[in-house]
A = this chain, B = another copy of it.
C-alpha cells in the first residue's frame, strides 16, 4: 500500500470547519489522494452558509472543492463515518462524544479526550500501537464509533524528538517554547499584546506538555498505557511569529549517549508513516540542520509541507547533559496535519474499513 490514489476516496467531514484549525484541515485535505471532504460542520453563526461566503484566512489558495459545501450543524446525522474535529475545547467534549456514540470515527485535534486512559494520544511515528486502545474504548464507553486524538501543538515536536532518542532513557526534560500566534487560533492574541512583545504565559500549555509527553512515550501494557517515567518541565511563551513553535530543550539521559549517538538517532528516526509511505508523511520525520543558527521559523517551518520537525544546535548542557533546539509547524504537524496523518495510519491499519 503506498501513497497512490485509491479507486474510491473515503468521504470525510470536518467539525469546527470555520475556525483557524478547521481551515487548516480543509487545506490539508485539498487534493488528498485517499480522503475527500464532503461535509463541514460548525456550531453557531455560520450554519447554512456556503463555505465560499466565509473569509479564507490562510495564505494557501482557497480550495474550490469545498466552496459549495454548506455549513451543517455540528451534530451526527448526514456526516460521513470519518470526521476530523477542529472544535474548540469548550464544545468538543459533548459533540465528539455524540459522534462517537453515533458510530463515527472522530480523529480529533481538541484537547478534551487526550488524557482519557482509553483514548489514543497518537503520533504515528512514535506510538502507533496505542491505537490498540480503541476496542477497549468502544466496549467501555459503549460506542460503535471511536475517538483518536493528536497531541497539543507544542507537545508533538518535543515528543518526536524524545522518541528518536528514547533508547538512551531520557529521565528529565526542561523545555522553553517560543510559540507562534497561529497557535492561539483566530482572532486569538491581540496585536497590541504581541507586537514587539513576549507573553511569558499560555493558559494550560505547560501542563499539557508535561503530561501528554509522558502518555505518548508510554507503553501499552495489558490494554492500558503506562506513562513514561520521564519528568518534564515546560515554560511556554508567545512571540511575534506567524507559524512555527521553537523549543529550547534540555535532556538528562539515564544512559549517557555520545553526541554522535544522538545525531545518528535523530537521522535514523523512522516509523510506520515512512514505512507505509503515507500520503502526507514526511520522508524523514526529524531533520537535523547543521548550521549553527537554525532551525528558524521563517526559514524552515514551511519546508517538507510542514510535516517534519527540524532539530539543531545539539550540544552539552552543564545541568542536564544535552540541549538542542526543535521547531515544528504548529497548525500542520502540530494540529490538522497531525490528525490527517493519524487517519492515514488508521486507514492502512484497516480501522476505517
Contact = CB atoms under 8 A, between A and B. Distances in A.
A295 B242 contact: no
B235 A291 contact: no
A235 B318 CA distance: 11
Interface in A103-148: none
A280 interface: no
Interface string A38-58: 000000000000000001011
A248 interface: yes
A1 interface: no
A170 B250 CA distance: 19
A259 interface: no
B325 A233 contact: no
A292 interface: yes
Interface residues of A, number: 63
A189 interface: yes
Nearest to A235: B248
A302 interface: yes
A7 interface: no
Given A174-B174, A194-B191, A296-B197, A302 B186 contact: no
Given A186-B190, A190-B189, A201-B313, A233 B319 contact: yes
B191 A181 contact: yes
Interface in A284-319: 291-300, 302-303, 312-313, 317-319
B296 A200 contact: yes
Contact of A248 (B176, B240, B320): B176
A293 B176 contact: no
Contacts of A198: 178, 239, 241, 244, 246, 296-297
Contacts of A178: 178, 198, 237, 239
A189 B193 CA distance: 10
A350 interface: no
Contact of A187 (B61, B174, B187): B187
Contacts of A250: 174, 233, 235
A192 interface: yes
A295 B188 contact: no
A313 to B, nearest CB: 6
Interface of A: 20, 55, 57-59, 61, 172-174, 176, 178, 181-182, 186-201, 210, 231-233, 235, 237, 239-242, 244, 246, 248, 250, 291-300, 302-303, 312-313, 317-320, 323, 325
21 contacts: A20-B192, A174-B174, A174-B319, A176-B248, A178-B178, A181-B191, A182-B192, A186-B192, A187-B193, A189-B190, A191-B194, A195-B195, A196-B240, A196-B242, A196-B298, A197-B241, A198-B297, A210-B318, A235-B250, A239-B239, A319-B320
The 8 closest A-B pairs by CB, nearest first: A187-B190, A176-B176, A201-B293, A197-B298, A235-B248, A191-B194, A233-B319, A181-B191
Given A187-B190, A201-B293, 18 more contacts: A58-B299, A59-B299, A59-B302, A173-B319, A174-B320, A178-B178, A181-B191, A191-B240, A196-B242, A197-B299, A200-B296, A201-B292, A201-B313, A210-B318, A231-B319, A232-B318, A240-B241, A319-B320
